[in-house]
Amino acid sequence: MFSIQRKTAVLGLICIIVFASGLARLFWLRFEAGDLYPPYSSLRGDPLGTQVLYEGLQSIDGSGATRNFRPLDQVDMAAGSTFVVCGLKGGEGFLAAGMWQALLARISNQGGRLFIAFMPGSGKEKSPAGGGRTGHASANASSDSLPQGPDDNRAPVSRSKPETGPPFDSGPQRSEWSGVMAELGLTLLKANTGEHAFADGARRSVAAAGLPEWIPWRAPHFFAADDAAWQSIYTWEDRPVIVWRSWGRGSVVMSADSYLLSNEALRRHRQAAFLTWLFRLPDRVIVDEYHHGLVDRPGIAGLMRKYRLQGFAAGLVVLVILWVWRQAAVFVPRPLDHRPKEDEQGIGRSVEGWISLMRQHIGPQDLLRTCYQAWRTSPATARLAQERIARVGHLVEYCGADARRHTPISVYKTICEMLAKGNPS
């Protein structure tokens, strides 16, 4: 019976282990593919993610690509840094957050580049009249005012706007913060496609060396510039879709679509020249994950990994398991045939305690006298005649006077025989 129960328990434990291993493997495959993360996240490995771009930037010598999980006002920007925000939704309240103001001020004072690529489906559902070029973004700007590569870290100045004010002018100043798009003087719009067949690519609108003439384009979005400092880099259907402007010591680049940075684009339509110009390699690249809702909140496990306490934790777990095991079971259990019953255990413990008490407090010369007094006051003497009790008392006094000759055991046996026979010896 016990063997059958044991086999059943072992089989059930094996089934539980196999099921847990399969479930863990399934979750691991999901996390490895990255489809649990938002689109255009650098942690996502399917066609909608940007993991290939991030790992490619990491593999380049001299280029340090890192992920940002902190608020934007805590980002450490420098002159050789490019902050990438990919897959941003144009209509969400995140663009109006005040943390953008601190990031723009840091770029203006310390340098660096801010690149924002929007999510397909963003933008306002309207198209300005005329259907041509929109706003003041110059589509014919010369290449002299455009940063040509990684060596250009100074603030380029647009020819359409003379340099005035302080040396680190951060663009148009507004008394109240109304969002990053309003601060930069740019609006994201969505084209009214209808039944019209639009082109599937954007063409270069500046004479910049190194940039490709044509890049693939998937989203019907474009920009309307409210500031003449914006320069159009690529246009789609004569509408600016990738624009650039200087911002103090740094610069800002906007893209109306994030397709060029996706894993799918790097497999089918890789634009290495455009990416080199965009990230100014081998400068430092910071890929933002905070706008995807991924926040770094270290818990106990994170702190243990940070301070390398995994070995201490493992030893503590083993120690607790051994303590629980020691308290739950005896290492060498008693045989089943020799285990005393509960009543026998109680009697045995009482006798052992009485014997231990007698050994500690009663001397050998007083043992007979003490036992006689205890017997004399017990209910057992009520059935005996006083003559027998007196004779037992005389025997105890006689033998107690010479304890060396009459041992307590021999006297005790004599008394038992006297009481059993009814006649004294």
Provide the 3-class DSSP secondary structure of residue 18: helix
Contacts of 176 (CB under 8 A, 6+ apart): none
Give the pLDDT band (50/70/90) at residue 194. low
Q: What residues pair up with 252 in beta bridges, in sequence order?
A: 114, 245
Tell me the residue ranges of DSSP E strands in 191-271. 201-204, 214-216, 221-225, 231-236, 239-247, 250-255
Residues 261 and 366 in one domain: no
**25, pLDDT greater than 50:** yes
Residue 182: CB atoms within 10 A of its CB come to: 16
Is residue 226 one of the residues assigned to a domain? yes
pLDDT at 83 over 90: yes
Single residue among 264, 282, 297 that ends a domain in this structure: 297
| Residues 104 and 211 grouped into a single domain | yes
36 lies in a domain? yes
Same domain, 362 and 239: no
The domain tally of the chain equals 2
User: Are 291 and 219 in a shared domain?
Assistant: yes
Does the pLDDT value for residue 253 go beyond 90?
yes
Residues 113 and 224 in one domain: yes
Span 128-149, pLDDT tens digits: 433 443 444 544 443 334 554 4
Instruction: Please give the Cα distance from 101 to 58 (Å, whole number).
Output: 29
Residue at 328 is within a domain: no
Q: Quick one: how far is CA 206 from the chain centroid?
A: 46
Taking 70 as the threshold, does the pLDDT of residue 330 lie above it? no
104, 243: one domain? yes
Q: Is the same domain home to 75 and 220? A: yes
> Which DSSP category does 154 fall into?
S
Sign of the Cα torsion 182, 188, 192, 198 reads positive
| C-alpha dist (Å) from residue 260 to 11, 42, 243, 337 | 53, 14, 15, 80
* Within-domain flag for 387: yes
Q: Is residue 259 domain-resident?
A: yes
Positions of E strands within 265-352: 284-288
What is d(CA 221, CA 119) in angstroms, rounded to the nearest whole number?
10
Dihedral sign computed on CA atoms, order 171, 177, 178, 180? positive
Residues 281 and 368 in one domain: no
User: Nearest Cα to 158, choosing from 233, 99, 83, 97?
Assistant: 233
- Tens of pLDDT along 199-238? 788 999 888 778 999 999 988 889 999 889 999 999 998 8
Q: Mark whether 114 and 226 lie in a shared domain.
A: yes
Tokens 């800002």 identify what position? Answer: 252
Clarify whether residues 367 and 277 are in a common domain.
no
Whether residue 213 sits in one domain with residue 116: yes
Residue predicted with more confidence, 334 or 247: 247
End-to-end CA distance of the chain: 62
Residue 200: closest CA among 210, 213, 214: 214
Q: Which of 251, 267, 297 is the last residue of a domain?
A: 297
pTM (two decimals)? 0.59
How confident is the model at residue 92, as a pLDDT?
66
Same domain, 242 and 134: yes
Q: If you average pLDDT over every residue of the chain, what do you get? A: 76
- Looking at the DSSP bridge assignments, the partners of residue 65 are 285
Quote the pLDDT of residue 107. Answer: 92
What pLDDT, on a 0 to 100 scale, did the predictor assign at position 58?
Answer: 85
The domain containing residue 126 runs over which residues?
28-144+178-192+200-297
